[in-house]
Structure formats: structure tokens, C-alpha cells
Copies of this chain bind each other. A is one copy, B any other.
Amino acid sequence: MKTAREYIDSLRDRDIKVYIKGELIDSDKVIDHPFIKGHVNAASMTYALAGSEKYEDLMTTTSHLTGKKINRFTHIHQSASDLVKKVKMLRMISQKTGTCYQRCVGFDAMNATYSVTYDMDKALGTEYHERFKRFLLYVQENDLMIAGAMTDPKGDRSLRPSQQADPDLFVHVVEKNEDGIVIRGAKAHMTGMVNSHEMLIMPTMGMREDDADYAVCCALPVDAPGVIHIFGRQTNDDRKMEGEIDQGNAKFGIVGGECLTVLNDVFVPWERVFMCGETPYSGLLVERFACYHRQNYGGCKGGVSDVVVGAAALMADYSGYGKAGHVKEKINEMIHLTETLYACSLACSCEGKPTESGAYFVDPLLANVGKHNVTQLIYDIDRLAQDIGGGIIATMPSESDLRNPEIGKYVDKYLKGVADVPTEDRMRIGRLIENMTGGTALVESMHGAGSPQAQKVMYSKLSNLEKKKEFAAHLAGIHSDKSEEE
């Protein structure tokens, strides 16, 4: 397993093309760029904590391929307990980073691809699963960070891939030859991509027969020829170019450091191709990935919310209203919502069942329920944090003002809360609340792992409404053929 140091060093070896605010960044300085550094720090925690004895049980496990100890982020779940530990691991890391550490996306992509390639091979006689296992072995042995790459730009959402005016708005195969395939398109919202080693590309939705070129799953290095990453803007990203306090969470930044990854006729050898045209399996892969990924949100956002709760409570303490009844009521409500999210992630995990491949899969209905709650309850939690935080989180002078020799004394004097807490501490907590409850952080809770409607669509599919109708008809004394026998 890699240490955090080794992880960071290994990223320097890449020849990666990353643009930030219109500028191409030197490949070996990408991870030092102020916009990116925090995300690297967050991701590196997935390595650092794996080396800690205290968290060994959560952070590491035994490879079912090799029997060796591996970082859990490269593991294929072998039990419901593995699924539960994943959730607890995520909550724990979030409590320490207060933000996204990005590595779950590839983790989930690998688990999804593992079982779907198994099913494909079994049904179609392909050899994708063995290929994928070799890739997985490579990932485990080298303790790699993989970017899961699913979301296409999608253009006109009312049209399917092949109906778009521009056929490249979904990633597709433009050439197949003896050695491999050539793909074109882009993947949007790519979390952790710029500080990963490889990306695992998956189709963005279930494809129909005539969209066969779009049913493609494959792995490639993030610095493969033809790949360009355009880093997205985040709320208050420019503050990272300055001092520390105004950043809120100066060490780990905010959310996942997403980019738009452009794939300009990129070659992928067959050894790394795990689906190529098998349209009936594209939807299954999406669903498997989506459920694994939705499983996470009560864990990682649960941990993030723990920090938000703590920050709100500290702000109340620092300002002298920590003991007010309505504040305690709000803190309790935040705790209630946080634990509700966590409960959903635990529930879909402990109800996990083995797929035919042996890999364990979460309960899909409950995984969707959990993510859907995140799209609403995080907004409630953050609203309550802003309520407790006070207007100061929207109007606070800058760190430069505090440091200014002329007026620093006024900032220090007038932003003081209770007498025995340094003003700077109160400012720091205010900035942390600002950082964690606004803009990018909220939107990520909404759309990460699928927009709200994506979960709602799954309810119709997974909840067996007809059976519920039978229960009702039976109790109402309606006697029909379909009625539930006792």
C-alpha cells in the first residue's frame, strides 16, 4: 500500500494536461496549484489513514484476488459487513477532512464493473471479467487512485446520443482495430480526476441498440495522449490564492475539484476495454454504479455534517448563545437530519446481497432513498447552520483586514464574541461555516451520484407498487384474483 507521500509523489510522474482559468498548468506542478492542492490533501488522507493502526479495520482489508492486505478503496466488497465498513470509513474520513476526498467514485466504478463484466461474460461468452480482474490486480498492487468517469455532457437532454446534432456529446467509439479502440467525447463533473492515476470510463445511461457505439466501458491513464482536463470553478476558489482564514478549510478545500475531461480520439488497448457495444448491459452498469455511489452519501455527507454541526455549535459558544433553547433545538434538529442520512446508508449496506460474481451489492431501493434524502436534508442542515452562524458569515472582513496594522485592531475588537475566545478563532469558524454551507458544497449534495429525479425514477422500478395495491385491496375487502393470500 502507498503512503500519502508516495501517493503524492506518484502523481508528479504523470504527463497530464490540466487547464485552470484558461491556462495550461505545468504537468509536474498541477498538484501544487492552489486550486488543486487541497483536493490532493483530501485524497491523500485515504492513503494516510490506511497506514494508521487506529483505523486499520475500516481502511484496509484483504484482497479476494491475492489474499494480501489492501487499501479498502481498491477492494471488491465480499460481504455486507464490507459494505457497512465502507460507510463508516467514509463518515470517519469526512469528519477529518470536512470535504470530498474523491476516491469513492473509482471504488464504486470498479465494484460495478466487476459484477457486470461477470454477468456479460456468463451470458455472452465475452472475456471482459478476466480482463477486468487483471486491471483490478494492477490497481490493488499499486494502490492506485481511479477516477470513475460516467457523466457525459449530454447536450439536448430530450434527445438520445445518436440523435444529438453533435455526436460527440456522449463518449463513443470512433474506431476499432486490432490493438484496441479509439474514443471521442468528454466526461463532465470529473471528481478527483486531476489527482488520479487512471480513469474508468462507463456509459452514462442505458443505451438502445442504435446507440451501440456509446456503450463503452474502459480504463486509461489520466495522462493518455488526447486527454485534456479543464478544471471547473468552485465557490470562492480565488481565495486559495491568498491567505488561510478566508478559505474556511485551508487544508482540504471544498468538495471534489471537478473538471471537464475532454477525450480527443484517445486510444485504449483491448486489454483495458470492458464493454464495447453490449447495449443491454450499459443500463445495468449505470444502475450498479449509481447504487454503490448513492450508498456513500449518508456516510460522507454524514461526516461532513458532523463538522457543520460542530462548527455551528462552536459559533454559538463563541458568540454567547450556545445555551439558548432555540439554538439547542436547532442543533438537535441538525443531528437528527445527519443521523437520518447515515441510517439510510447503513440500511442499504446491511441489506447488501451477493451478485453472481460474488461481489456484494447494496439494497438498491434503500441506496436511492439515502441519496434522495441528501438532496434535501443537507439543505436543511446547512440552512440551520447559517441560522446559528449569524449574519457575520456573509459580511465578515477579510483576513487581510485582520492583519492590517491600521485597522486590524478594529476587526479584532469588534468581531469579538465571548471575552475568552480569540476573535481570530471566531472568524475561522465563521469562514468554515461559509465554506461548508454555500455554493458548490450544496450543489454537490444535490447532483452528486445523480440528480433527485434520477432517484425518483428508480422508486417506480424498485418498490413493487403492485404488491402494495394487493395489500390494500385485501384489507379493504376487495376480492380479486390478484388479492394477497394470507
Contacts and interface: CB of A to CB of B under 8 A. Distances in A.
Interface in A155-200: 155-159, 164-166, 168-169, 186, 188-189
Contact of A396 (B232, B324, B379): B232
Contacts of A376: 383
A258 B472 contact: no
Nearest to A306: B468
A432 B475 contact: yes
A155 B474 CA distance: 23
Given A235-B235, A326-B329, A391 B451 contact: yes
A21 interface: yes
A329 B329 contact: yes
Given A343-B370, A417-B155, A471 B401 contact: no
A262 B346 CA distance: 43
A230 B439 contact: no
A448 B390 CA distance: 10
11 contacts: A168-B414, A230-B411, A233-B246, A233-B395, A255-B394, A260-B395, A260-B411, A383-B442, A391-B443, A429-B473, A438-B440
Interface in A256-294: 258-260, 262
A476 interface: yes
A132 interface: no
Contacts of A463: 335, 339
A459 interface: yes
Given A262-B410, A456-B329, A478-B425, A391 B188 contact: yes
Interface stretch (A7-15, A135-143, A213-221, A347-355): A347-355
A260 B429 CA distance: 18
Given A329-B456, A403-B22, A310 B469 contact: yes
Chain A at the B interface: SS class? helix
Nearest to A427: B476
A446 interface: yes
A208 interface: no
Contact of A398 (B186, B233, B252): B233
A110 interface: no
Interface residues of A, number: 159
A310 B228 contact: no
Given A159-B320, A230-B397, A478-B425, A446 B383 contact: yes
Contact of A156 (B19, B417, B428): B417
Contacts of A314: 469, 472-473
B468 A313 contact: yes
A177 B254 CA distance: 54
Interface stretch (A71-79, A101-109, A237-245): A237-245
A481 B53 CA distance: 23
Given A329-B456, A366-B343, A321 B252 contact: no
A168 B406 CA distance: 18
A477 interface: yes
Most buried by B among A22, A306, A428, A473: A22
A58 interface: no
A276 B334 CA distance: 39
A235 B475 contact: no
Most buried by B among A310, A331, A404: A310
A201 interface: no
A163 to B, nearest CB: 11
A393 interface: yes
A181 B283 CA distance: 61
A66 interface: no
Contact of A400 (B22, B236, B329, B419): B22
A373 B344 CA distance: 12
A133 interface: no
A196 to B, nearest CB: 16
Most buried by B among A19, A151, A328: A19
Contacts of A469: 310-311, 313-314, 317
Interface string A428-457: 110110100011101110111001110110
A342 interface: yes
Nearest to A465: B313
B156 A396 contact: no
